[in-house]
Amino acid sequence: MNYVDYNAATRDRSRALAKAAPDAMKSFAALSKSVKEGGVLGVKEKEFVALGISVAVRCDACIGFHVEALIKAGGTREELADVLSMAIQMGGGPAVMYAGKALECWDQIEAAQS
């Protein structure tokens, strides 16, 4: 899978959904913004939590977006591997398969931004 293209296609689908269900999507966007801005954890740490959950629940689009956000927040590939290790421990075999996808996603997005 090409995550750079996949993220772009997911954004297009989200824009179409926002036109079809504007109230729901505005509310979701407000929730997303509020949980990232408040609290004692920084954005990077919160994105690592979100990525771990993304791997455990096997959400390709979530992996793409949260890896992209982690790169922007200053996360490192080494930190990513540590979080993926925890996601594997929590999610078992299926998490192993999706952790590999998250690592591939990181490499593709980071290379595209270089």
CA 67/CA 48 separation, integer angstroms: 8
Distance (Å, whole) CA 50 – CA 104? 17
pLDDT at 94: 85
Instruction: Provide the percentage of residues in the chain whose pLDDT is more than 70.
Output: 100
Tokens of 10: 């997911």
Question: What is the distance between the alpha carbons of residues 106 and 99, in angstroms, rounded to a whole number?
Answer: 11
| Averaged pLDDT for residues 27-45 | 94
Distance CA 31, CA 34 (A): 5
At 70-103, the pLDDT tens digits run 999 999 999 999 999 999 888 888 888 888 999 9
Q: Tell the residue number behind the tokens 């096997």, with chain if given.
A: 58
| Residue ranges of domains in the chain, CATH in brackets | 3-113 (1.20.1290.10)
pLDDT of residue 92: 85
The answer to pTM > 0.75 is yes
Q: State the DSSP H helix or E strand holding residue 14, giving kind and residue range, or none if neither.
A: helix 3-20
